[in-house]
Amino acid sequence: MSAEIVNLRQFRKKQARSEKDKQAEQNRISFGRTKTEKQLTTALNEKADRAHREGHIEKSGDKE
């Protein structure tokens, strides 16, 4: 009944590499877009925001 021997230095390095890989993947998703993709996203967001604002019912200030 012997436990598996783990080299802590190697374990920490492996864990750090894994975290860096996760961060790199997030950066590729967030920042790895072309200029036209960014413009398209901005235009779609503005269109959705405009539709949302226009969908609200404006109430008059006359409350009695």
What is the pLDDT, as a whole number, of residue 2? Answer: 77
Residue 40 within a domain: yes
- The number of domains in the chain is 1
Question: What is the C-alpha to C-alpha distance for residues 40 and 1, in angstroms, rounded to an integer?
Answer: 61
**Cα angle 32-33-38, degrees, rounded to a multiple of 5:** 145
Write the pLDDT tens digit of every residue in 31-46.
Answer: 888 899 989 999 999 9
Task: Establish if 12 belongs to a structural domain.
Answer: yes
What letter does residue 55 receive in the DSSP assignment?
A: T
Token pair 């790895």 in the structure block, residue: 32
Q: Is residue 24 part of a domain?
A: yes
State yes or no: pLDDT of 19 exceeds 80: yes
Is residue 61 in a domain? no
Q: 36: number of CA atoms within 13 Å, CB side?
A: 0
Q: How confident is the model at residue 18 (pLDDT cuts 50, 70, 90)?
A: very high
The answer to the question of residue 31 being in a domain is: yes
User: 48: which 2 tokens?
Assistant: 């959705």
- Domain extent at residue 37: 8-55
Tell me, yes or no, whether 3 lies in a domain: no
